[in-house]
Structure 1
Amino acid sequence: MKRKIQTMALCLLAGVSLSHAQTFLSQNHAMKRVKTTEKYLLLPVEESEGIAHIRVLKDNRLVKEFNCKLAINKTDYQVPLDLSEFGGDLLLDIQFPGDTRTTGVIRDFACWQEMKVADNFDTTNREKYRPAYHHTPLYGWMNDPNGMFYKDGVWHLYFQYNPYGSQWENMTWGHSTSTDLTHWTYEGEAITPDALGTIFSGCCVVDKANTAGFGKDAVVAFYTSAGASQTQSMAYSTDDGKNFTKYAGNPVITSNMPDFRDPNAFWNDELGQWNLILAAGQQMNIYSSKDLKEWKYESSFGEGYGSHGGVWECPDLLRMGDKWVLVCNINPGGPFGGSATQYFVGTFDGHKFTCDSAPGVTKWMDYGKDHYATVAFDNAPDGRHIVLPWMSNWQYANQVPTRQFRSANGLPRDLGLFTYRGEYYVSVKPSPEVFVSFVAKSSAKLSPAAYLEVTDVKTNASITLSNAKGERVVMTYNGMDETFSMNRDASGLSDFSTDFKCTTVAPTYGAVKAMQIFVDHSSIEAFDADGKMAMTNLVFPSEPYDRIAAKGCKVKIHALK
């Protein structure tokens, strides 16, 4: 009998099931001993359940803790816990929410039967709505782009990331890299939660002159530590952003305000010092520093300006010629509900931003429902201002019909300025690198991932994308009203949210002669070719749109290479 028990134990630990390796301490408390040489423990997730809190103990020390919706009734998908970081002899201390009246008996939870160890975690795409040429996480949840910078031919994108589920939780900085702004490689978790809190949004700068003392060309990250209060912390990397060391003097900026986050630093050539802008409630605070460590408060901007329908977040401050553009993301309060990106054009002297427009003027960078948290790459070549948005909306981001992953970034966009009737506006154009991904010769049929080149646009024009099931998206240009609209009421799946169906409408600031429309498996992005209008919307057709009807314009279809 002893030999049989030992054999069973070896089988359990060698890679199939750990169903008998847990101890139940109460109806909502269990411990699990994990002894294995394999790399991962695969955790079963059930999204409709409450959040279990998992503490990872090694030699009686807490080495990691996170939240995960462990499966109670059934498994929706699995996420990996990397055991190799700590060695394969760990104790998991797991607290479940609820009680037997809502969850049943703890020993019967589905997670115990389906928790497994493995040397690999399969990230093969299983989602029909995963974009083909937009950045997405391999698995898990993603929201705001963070810490973007360019260095030595490589674009670095960090992002708000939950490695333990496809809904918002456990905020960490994930990391991806690209050499062409289109094809991205996942590099792992870059900055993880610590005793100060989880890791909210922020920025990275390339410290070319070694002002902080971490080394010439060190990459310095600023982020919000989201603990009992929101404070600003710093980390630095000497290997081009792959690994970060957290600054021992954290936090570097504090406040008694509850919504105090998303620091964005930049070098100010005119003053020979650093500036930093961050969101503080419904205003933006501006700071200055010589060494990236000691920060002086300079001023605030926002009272009475723009939209104040929600909390201000994710700022940026960009110099464009003689003007400065202050980017301000807001949630809620967007033009069609939920989250959106507004901006202000004005002047900045290193201490104070002054807006050119009257206080009541609101300007939106994108008039779709799914464009948020837009910030720029630091150190971009040729003085370019290249931004990436998060392509979703907080009204339904956690509910969109994907599970292996949730959320994508919109296309990279180059920003500039134009004037219309005495006002400055931000121009938005797809970055030139985007077009390289499509074949030059036009196609006869619309494919799930395509670029539509629209020319000879008349005063009244429309483009309708549809499929055999009658699902459709209708885009309309009205030259008399100087508006462009996109109706996604019948675009496909929408029952996950009452806020999804909508018609979004954008001003065109003059006549539209040509447009660029990008279709991917679950998104449509429309741009005026002169950069005067941008609109980003998600769509979830039950089968891809393969039909196109154009009136008052000419359309060429370019397939993805």
Structure 2
Amino acid sequence: MKRSDPAARFHHAVRHHGLAACLLLIILSPARAQDAPTPQWRPALHFSPTEHWMNDPNGPFLLDGTYHLFYQYNPAGTVWGPMSWGHATSTDLLHWHEQGVAIPSTPAEDIFSGAMVYDGSNRSGLGSASAPPLLAFHTSVFHGNPAHPDGTQAQSLSYSLDRGAHWQSYAHNPILTLQPDSRQFRDPSVVWYPQGQCWLMTTVVADAQLVKLYRSTDLLHWSFLSDFQPSGYRKPGMLWEMPLLVPLPLDGNPHDTRWVMIVSVNPWSIAGGSGVQYFVGRFDGTRFIPDALPPEGADPSAYDWLDHGADQYAPIRFANTGTRPPLLIAWMNNWDYADTLPTAPWRGQMTLPVQLALKTVDGRPALVQAPAPQYDDLVRRQGIAAFADRDVGPGQTWRAPLGGPVLDIRVTLRRGDAAHAGIVVRQTPDGRTGTVISYDFLSGNLTLDRSRSGQVGFSPRFSLAHIAHLPTPGGTVSLHLVIDRNSVELFANGGALRMTDLVFPPPGSDGVSLFSDGGHTRFTEIRISAPAR
């Protein structure tokens, strides 16, 4: 949960003018909630609230065939404000139904980010065999509490005995605090550790760029294990948030389990502003030990990033999915410009849920990501158009006869003598507007360029191009693009590299074309589908 600069100003105003007055200003602000609706940018494949501000996903889980998604929500405006947990449900991870505010903020307590556990064995004792509790671990931010200075952050618990329909606060909150109190202690995530027959919690001291690990057998009482604070890529003012510890078999081998520590960083990410870094290593029951890290002062590109675009932050794992591969969902946005996005009456959306695997890539373990299987099922049901291979030379383009605001595109680039080649999506008929994905065969760099994607001037911090190195043995690059009305999600070379970027194109920007510069490129395995709600 990030306190952006506007958020800090909001809390300053609350202290001096009172909560009610500040809420009224947010509700009446003509530059925010009363902007004209922008339906052409309402995502079709990605969850967004009907109205108002949303950021981090919180506590997603699966129960009785229904996926539950909670999220940081300001039900009173389209900028960050007093944080509650919003709630939505889905049976397929693609069609979501809002359920209202699940855990509301109060003048005495904001409800920041956290995670969920289905306590099916009633280890906490808060439920019963017939009504096992759902436990929502979240950060409380206290105001006017005699036991904690204003702004103190601590970990608390809310629980539900009716499968998420209603929630009540645990009587002995907070369940975990620091001594002395901290204003930066937040974002609990909880995972079961079978070898130790206990639960593990990861939290952060955000401004110290420090992950703290705890253990519990009853989910109520937590014992400190260790701190994780590796040397390496850290900058003044950088915050670490939303830590996530995930065990994964390397290359599918159940006898070679590695652990991955995922942390969201803001600012100074690989694409500017906020982003997501990860570390691969091992967990010995007490400490997370990362594999060898780049030397101190190494370029950010030497580290592992979950996404090389600008618009993925605060990923979290769906709980209670059994032995299925881990599913992640994240906030599709960037704190550099989140409160200035030109959408109304909502502001904020989620990424597609993705399935995680750990594979050996270029000789070392790396996370590989792919859209959840439910998305592939939708694409198949809608039908896939296959096109013949195409040779494209300098000055030539091939415009796909199938277009639309929501597309799934898969294509392989096979180098001939071209310097670089690629694809343009969300393109206007005159070709002046479009988002360009290109691969440079000489440098091995993949670029997503949104400088001519539509509206880009709403913030000077809206970065225009994102570049990542992508080795291509044999000169072959495979691209999988998920195009929504206001976003491009790119999975390259089977998900070994991911880029996620928001775009705000004008109406009619539905075209797709292929291009090659400095020589010829052969485009093969061209598949286009139009998945829709």
Go from structure 1 to structure 2 and tell me whether the alpha carbon gap of 1:331 and 1:501 turns closer, same or farther (over 3 Å shift): closer
> Structure 1: which 5+ runs fail to align?
1-46, 57-64, 80-123
Amino acid at match of 2:133: A
1:376 match:
317
Deviation, 1:280, is 1.0
Matched, 1:261 2:176: no
Cα separation, 1, equivalents of 2:502 and 2:508: 13
Task: Tell me the secondary structure at the aligned position of residue 398 of structure 1.
Answer: helix
Answer yes or no: is the 8 Å Cα contact 1:527–1:535 preserved in 2. yes
2:146 match:
none
Cα separation, 1, equivalents of 2:445 and 2:273: 21
Cα separation, 2, equivalents of 1:187 and 1:125: 22
Task: Find 1:440's aligned residue among 358, 365, 383.
Answer: 383
Deviation, 1:206, is 1.1
Aligned length: 460
Go from structure 1 to structure 2 and tell me whether the alpha carbon gap of 1:514 and 1:522 turns closer, same or farther (over 3 Å shift): same
Q: Larger deviation: 326-335 or 421-430?
A: 421-430
Cα separation, 2, equivalents of 1:202 and 1:509: 37
For residues 333-358 of structure 1, what are the alpha-carbon distances to aligned partners after superposition, in whole Å with 9 as ceiling and x for unaligned? 11121000000000012311000122
2:67 match:
155
Answer yes or no: is the 8 Å Cα contact 2:133–2:161 preserved in 1. yes
Go from structure 1 to structure 2 and tell me whether the alpha carbon gap of 1:510 and 1:249 turns closer, same or farther (over 3 Å shift): farther
Task: Tell me the secondary structure at the aligned position of residue 164 of structure 1.
Answer: coil
Amino acid at match of 1:491: S
Cα separation, 1, equivalents of 2:283 and 2:529: 42
Go from structure 1 to structure 2 and tell me whether the alpha carbon gap of 1:480 and 1:210 turns closer, same or farther (over 3 Å shift): farther
For residues 481-532 of structure 1, what are the alpha-carbon distances to aligned partners after superposition, in whole Å with 9 as ceiling and x for unaligned? 3331101111111111112142101232544542210111110011025220
1:60-459 aligned at under 5 Å gives the runs 68-71=25-28, 77=33, 127-194=39-106, 196-215=108-127, 216=129, 217-227=132-142, 228=150, 229-255=152-178, 256-281=181-206, 282-308=209-235, 310-321=238-249, 322-358=257-293, 360=295, 361-438=302-379, 439-442=382-385, 444-458=401-415
Go from structure 1 to structure 2 and tell me whether the alpha carbon gap of 1:152 and 1:491 turns closer, same or farther (over 3 Å shift): same
For residues 272-294 of structure 1, what are the alpha-carbon distances to aligned partners after superposition, in whole Å with 9 as ceiling and x for unaligned? 01110011130100001111111
Task: Find 2:452's aligned residue among 490, 512, 515.
Answer: 490
Q: Larger deviation: 141-150 or 358-367?
A: 358-367
Q: Larger deviation: 459-468 or 137-146?
A: 459-468
Deviation, 1:240, is 1.5
Amino acid at match of 1:424: P
Deviation, 1:130, is 0.7
Task: Tell me the secondary structure at the aligned position of residue 55 of structure 2.
Answer: strand
Cα separation, 2, equivalents of 1:147 and 1:76: 28
Answer yes or no: is the 8 Å Cα contact 1:171–1:198 preserved in 2. yes
Go from structure 1 to structure 2 and tell me whether the alpha carbon gap of 1:78 and 1:190 turns closer, same or farther (over 3 Å shift): farther
Task: Find 1:463's aligned residue among 418, 423, 441.
Answer: 423
1:535 match:
499
Task: Tell me the secondary structure at the aligned position of residue 69 of structure 1.
Answer: helix
Answer yes or no: is the 8 Å Cα contact 2:310–2:463 preserved in 1. no
Matched, 1:500 2:457: no
Task: Tell me the secondary structure at the aligned position of residue 370 of structure 1.
Answer: coil
Answer yes or no: is the 8 Å Cα contact 2:275–2:313 preserved in 1. yes
For normalisation by structure 2, the TM-score amounts to 0.81
Q: Larger deviation: 158-167 or 536-545?
A: 536-545
Task: Find 1:519's aligned residue among 459, 469, 483.
Answer: 483
Deviation, 1:453, is 1.7
For residues 296-316 of structure 1, what are the alpha-carbon distances to aligned partners after superposition, in whole Å with 9 as ceiling and x for unaligned? 111111231444461000011
Answer yes or no: is the 8 Å Cα contact 2:308–2:500 preserved in 1. yes
Go from structure 1 to structure 2 and tell me whether the alpha carbon gap of 1:426 and 1:441 turns closer, same or farther (over 3 Å shift): closer
Give % identity: 33
Matched, 1:472 2:413: no
Deviation, 1:195, is 5.9
Task: Tell me the secondary structure at the aligned position of residue 211 of structure 1.
Answer: coil
Amino acid at match of 1:477: Y
By relative contact order (CA 8 Å, sep 6+), the higher-ranking structure is 2
Cα separation, 1, equivalents of 2:285 and 2:61: 22
Deviation, 1:78, is 6.4
Go from structure 1 to structure 2 and tell me whether the alpha carbon gap of 1:305 and 1:269 turns closer, same or farther (over 3 Å shift): farther
Cα separation, 2, equivalents of 1:515 and 1:382: 29
Go from structure 1 to structure 2 and tell me whether the alpha carbon gap of 1:169 and 1:384 turns closer, same or farther (over 3 Å shift): same
Task: Tell me the secondary structure at the aligned position of residue 320 of structure 2.
Answer: coil
Amino acid at match of 2:312: H
Amino acid at match of 1:231: A
Q: Larger deviation: 546-555 or 269-278?
A: 546-555
Cα separation, 2, equivalents of 1:457 and 1:145: 38
Answer yes or no: is the 8 Å Cα contact 2:32–2:79 preserved in 1. no
Q: Larger deviation: 448-457 or 394-403?
A: 448-457
Answer yes or no: is the 8 Å Cα contact 1:67–1:170 preserved in 2. no
Answer yes or no: is the 8 Å Cα contact 2:33–2:52 preserved in 1. no
1:481 match:
443
Larger radius of gyration: 1
1:83 match:
none
Task: Tell me the secondary structure at the aligned position of residue 336 of structure 1.
Answer: coil
Q: Larger deviation: 263-272 or 493-502?
A: 493-502
Task: Tell me the secondary structure at the aligned position of residue 333 of structure 1.
Answer: coil
2:395 match:
none
For residues 64-90 of structure 1, what are the alpha-carbon distances to aligned partners after superposition, in whole Å with 9 as ceiling and x for unaligned? x95652437x586469xxxxxxxxxxx
Cα separation, 2, equivalents of 1:357 and 1:242: 45
Go from structure 1 to structure 2 and tell me whether the alpha carbon gap of 1:437 and 1:304 turns closer, same or farther (over 3 Å shift): same
- RMSD value over aligned CA atoms? 2.4
Answer yes or no: is the 8 Å Cα contact 1:342–1:363 preserved in 2. yes
